[in-house]
Amino acid sequence: MSECVTGYIDHIIFRNEDNGYTVMVLKGVKDEDELTCVGTFPVITQGASIEAEGSFIQHPVYGKQFQAVRLTEKMPEDAMAMERYLGSGAIKGIGAALAGRIVRHFGADTLRIVEEEPERLAEIKGISEKKAHEIAIQIAEKSEMRKVMMFLQKYGISLNLGAKIYQKYGDSVYSVLQENPYRLADDISGVGFKIADEIAYRIGIHTDSDYRIKSGLAYTLLQAGGEGHVYLPREELFRRAEQLLGVDASYMEKHLVDLSMERKIIQKEENGQVFVYPAQYYYLELNTARMLRELDIDCPEDEHIVERRISQIQKETGTVLDEMQKKAVKEAAGHGLLVLTGGPGTGKTTTINAIIRFFESEGAELRLAAPTGRAAKRMTEATGYEAQTIHRMLELTGMPEDDREGQPVHFERNAENPLEADVIIIDEMSMVDIHLMHSLLMAVTAGTRLILVGDENQLPSVGPGNVLRDIIRSGQFPVVELTKIFRQASESDIVVNAHKINRGEQVEINNKSRDFFFLKRYDADIIIRVVIALIQEKLPKYVEAKPFEIQVLTPMRKGLLGVERLNQILQRYLNPPDPSKKEKEIGQGLFREGDKVMQIRNNYQLEWEVRGRYGIPVDKGVGVFNGDTGIIRTINEFAELAEVEFEDGRYAQYTFKQLDELELAYAVTIHKSQGSEYPAVIIPILSGPRMLMNRNLLYTAVTRARKCVTVVGSEETFREMINNEKQQRRYSSLDKRIQEAE
C-alpha cells in the first residue's frame, strides 16, 4: 500500500547524475527524527520541501528506509522552510547568512516577494539591484527546468540528456517534442535517431510519419559514414532504411526528394545508378579533388642537375638507390604532387630520406607529418627530422561552437593562414580519411610540394573515404610504386610472408623462422593461455621489450577471442588487483592504475602537457585522438580524475565522466592498430565472418610487427584468410571527382 511523507531534504548522501538515483536524508517527517529516502528523481535540491509517495522498507544493512516512486517538490510554506531553501546553496550567490537576513526582513511574505517582487531583495544589505535580478532569474529558471525535467522523465529521457534538451530549447521543448522529436537527432550531440525514435514512439508519433522517415534516411547515411562509406547506392540506402524503420521503401522516394531540396543530401546518377551522399561528404570529396588538382603543377628541373644531386646524396649517405627510388626523387623534384607507395621492406624510408636531403640541398623548408603520434614518432626516428601529427601541424585548437559529430574541427592553419613550407611529406596515408585530407589541403598553397607516402594494401581509414587508394586509382597524378624487397628486409620472414600474403601465396609455417611463428591451437581458452604465457614469459626477452609493449591484435570486438573478452582476461594477468593500485568501475568493467588503455574517439578539446624534469610542463596542447594508447598513472577518487600518460610523453587528465572515451588496450582490433608498429605482435585466430576474415586484414596485422609475429590458432582459418581477397566494399568516389576536376 502506497504512503506519503512530507519533509525537507537535510542532505544528499549519494546521487548518480546519469540516472537520478538518489539516497538522501529527510527531516521534519512526522514521527521521525530523520528518515533515509531512496529513489530516482530528475531534479533535486538540498533544503527543498518535498512530498514523497512510496513505501517503507527494511534494508538488511541500513535499516528503515522510505522507497519513493514519486516525488513532488513544494515551495517553502513558512519562513523557516524558505530560509532553509535559500540557504541550501540552491540559489547561486545566497548562503546561509544572507538567507537569514532575507527571511528576517520579509518574514512570512518572503516567498511572495521572491516570486512576484524579486527587485525588493535589493532592500537587503549585500544584495544589489543586479544581484536581485540574477536571483529572480535563477528561481524562475529552476522552477521551469523542474517542470521540463518532470515532463521529459515521462518519456524515459535521462537527466543528463534532459539537461541538454532544456538548454537547447528552453520551454519550447513541449512543442518540439509534440511536433517533431526527430529534431533532437539533428540539434543535440548525444541524441541519435534511435533515441529520438524511442521518444517519438512514447509520444505516439506514427511509424510512417514524414519526420521519422526523413530522419531515418539521414541516420542511415550517417551510420554508413561510420563504416567508412562516403555515399550509398539508393537501393542499398532504401534496404538499410527499410530494416531500420520497418517501413516499405516505396514510402521513401518522396522523402529523398525533400532531403535533396533541403540540401541535406546530394543525389548523383552514374551509369543508370543513383548514389546518395550526405551533402557534407559530397562537397568534401569535390573540394579535395579540386585542391589536389591545383597542387599538381609541373616544377621543371634540369635533369642533369637532379642526377648530379642524387649521386651526391648516395655518396654522402653511403646508400645505393634503385631505379624506382631515383625515379621517386626525380618526380618529387619535378611535380607539385607525388604519391609514393609500396609494401614493407621496399625502401620507402630510404626514399623519403633521399627526398628530404634533395630538398634540403636546395634550402627548402620541409614539414613532416603522420596521422597518429606513434606513426609521427616512428617517422622522426627513421628520418632524423622532426615529424608531427597532422592535427598538430595544422595547429588544432578545439571544436567549433557546434560540436556535432561530422563537423570539421577547428585548425589554426587553413586557407587564410596556410602552412609555411616548401615541401610537406605525409606518411601512413592509408589512415587519412576525407575529413583530415580536406583540412590538410586547405592549409597547403599551390606551389608547395606535397608528397603522400603509404601502402595502399593496408586497411583503409577508420573514418569515411578511401583517400590514398582513390588518389592512386584516379590515374591523374605521378605515382611511384616500390616493389623490390631489399636484401636486409628479405632476411625477415615478417616482410617476406607479408608480401606472400598480399599476393595470395601460402606461407610456410614450419616454425624454423626467427621472427614468424605459428602455434596451432583449436580451443579459445587454450589459445588465451598461450597468449598470456607468450606475453609474460617468452617474448619480452626474445624481442627485448616490456610485456606492455607486446601487442595482441585480433580481428573482432566480440566473441571468444574478441577484444572485449581478451582485455578482461589479460588485465587480470598483466595488471592484477593490488591494494596499492586504485580502481574505478566503468560500465561493465573497471580501470586500474597501471592499465594499458586506448582512446576510442577523437576528443579535440582534451588538454595535455609534456613534462620535463621534476614534472614541470615543457609543452601544452589540446586533442587526443582515436587510437592513441597510454598507461593510467593515477586514479583520484576525491577529485574524480584519472591521469593517462600517452606513448609520446603527453599526460592528459580525464574526469570520471570522460572515461567512456577509453578502453583497455592489452588487445586491440587489427583495424585500430593501423599506423602503429610494435616490437612483437600476437595474432589469435580461430574463426569469424568471412567478409571480415580476409587477406587485407591479415596483411595489416603482420606488417604491424617490427621483430616478431606469433599467430596462435587455427591453421585452416589462417590459410582461408590468405585465399579470401573479398573485402567489404567501401563506397567512395574521390577518384571520380578528381577525374572530373579541371
678-720: per-residue pLDDT in tens? Answer: 999 999 999 888 878 899 999 999 999 999 999 999 999 999 9
The torsion of the CA quartet 265, 270, 274, 279, rounded to 10 degrees, works out to -10
Strand partners, 426: 369, 452
Q: How far is CA 140 from the centre of its chain?
A: 38
Are both 516 and 410 inside the same structural domain? no
Are both 597 and 631 inside the same structural domain? yes
528 belongs to a structural domain? yes
DSSP 3-state of 728 = coil
Are both 474 and 532 inside the same structural domain? no
**Pair 79, 50: CB distance under 8 Å:** no
User: DSSP readout, 249-309?
Assistant: GGGTHHHHHHHHHTTSEEEEEETTEEEEEEHHHHHHHHHHHHHHHHH--B----HHHHHHH
Are both 517 and 595 inside the same structural domain? yes
| More confident of the two residues 56 and 174 | 56
Residue range 435-452: mean pLDDT, rounded: 95
Are both 43 and 143 inside the same structural domain? yes
Position 1 confidence tier, pLDDT thresholds 50, 70, 90: low
pLDDT single digits (tens) 355-373: 999 999 888 999 999 998 8
Structural domain count of the chain: 4
Are both 250 and 310 inside the same structural domain? no
CATH number at residue 448: 3.40.50.300
User: Annotated binding site for ATP, which residues?
Assistant: 345-349
Position 153 confidence tier, pLDDT thresholds 50, 70, 90: low
Those residues with Cβ within 8 angstroms of residue 132's Cβ, 6 or more apart along the chain or in another chain: 118, 119, 120, 121, 122
**DSSP H helical ranges for 535-618:** 539-543, 563-574
Are both 114 and 91 inside the same structural domain? yes
Tell me: pLDDT of 467 over 50: yes
494 belongs to a structural domain? no
542 belongs to a structural domain? yes
Position 669 confidence tier, pLDDT thresholds 50, 70, 90: very high
Among 118, 147, 176, which residue terminates a domain?
A: 147
pLDDT (0 to 100) of residue 639: 86
Of the ranges 125-129, 149-153, 463-467, 686-690, the best mean pLDDT one = 463-467
347 belongs to a structural domain? yes
The three-point CA angle 344-349-354 to 5° equals 145
**Pair 186, 243: CB distance under 8 Å:** no
Q: What is the pTM of this model?
A: 0.75
**DSSP H helical ranges for 510-650:** 524-533, 539-543, 563-574
Are both 511 and 657 inside the same structural domain? yes
User: Annotated binding site, which residues?
Assistant: 345-349
The three-point CA angle 110-111-112 to 5° equals 95
152 belongs to a structural domain? no
Which range has the worst mean pLDDT, 135-144, 283-292, 452-461? 135-144
E strands, 344-399, in order: 366-370, 387-389, 396-398
Residue range 472-501: mean pLDDT, rounded: 89
| More confident of the two residues 213 and 75 | 213
Tell me: pLDDT of 402 over 60: no
491 belongs to a structural domain? no
Find, among 427, 432, 421, the residue nearest to 452 by Cα. 427
Position 407 confidence tier, pLDDT thresholds 50, 70, 90: very low
Among 114, 147, 180, which residue terminates a domain?
A: 147
CA–CA separation, 578 vs 582, rounded Å?
8
Are both 278 and 301 inside the same structural domain? no
287 belongs to a structural domain? no
DSSP 3-state of 376 = helix
pLDDT (0 to 100) of residue 613: 82
CATH number at residue 28: 2.40.50
Tell me: pLDDT of 24 over 50: yes
Position 406 confidence tier, pLDDT thresholds 50, 70, 90: very low
- Return the number of other C-beta atoms located less than 10 Å from residue 657's C-beta: 12
CA–CA separation, 596 vs 464, rounded Å?
28
CA–CA separation, 372 vs 500, rounded Å?
27
Q: For all residues of the chain together, what is the average pLDDT? A: 86
Q: How far is CA 577 from the centre of its chain?
A: 28
Are both 140 and 13 inside the same structural domain? yes
pLDDT (0 to 100) of residue 404: 40
**Backbone angles phi and psi of 678, in degrees to 5:** -125, 150
Position 209 confidence tier, pLDDT thresholds 50, 70, 90: confident
CATH number at residue 210: 1.10.10.2220
**Backbone angles phi and psi of 498, in degrees to 5:** -60, -45
pLDDT (0 to 100) of residue 358: 93
pLDDT (0 to 100) of residue 143: 65
227 belongs to a structural domain? yes
Those residues with Cβ within 8 angstroms of residue 343's Cβ, 6 or more apart along the chain or in another chain: 455, 457, 482, 483, 495, 498, 499, 502, 703
Find, among 205, 259, 211, the residue nearest to 232 by Cα. 259
Are both 254 and 360 inside the same structural domain? no
Are both 328 and 218 inside the same structural domain? no
For residue 262, give its domain range: 206-282
**Mapped to the 3 state alphabet, what secondary structure does 626-693 carry?**
CCCEEEEEEEECCCCEEEEEECCCEEEEEEHHHHHHEEECCEEECHHHCCCCEEEEEEEECCCCCCCC
Residue range 247-268: mean pLDDT, rounded: 89
Tell me: pLDDT of 302 over 50: yes
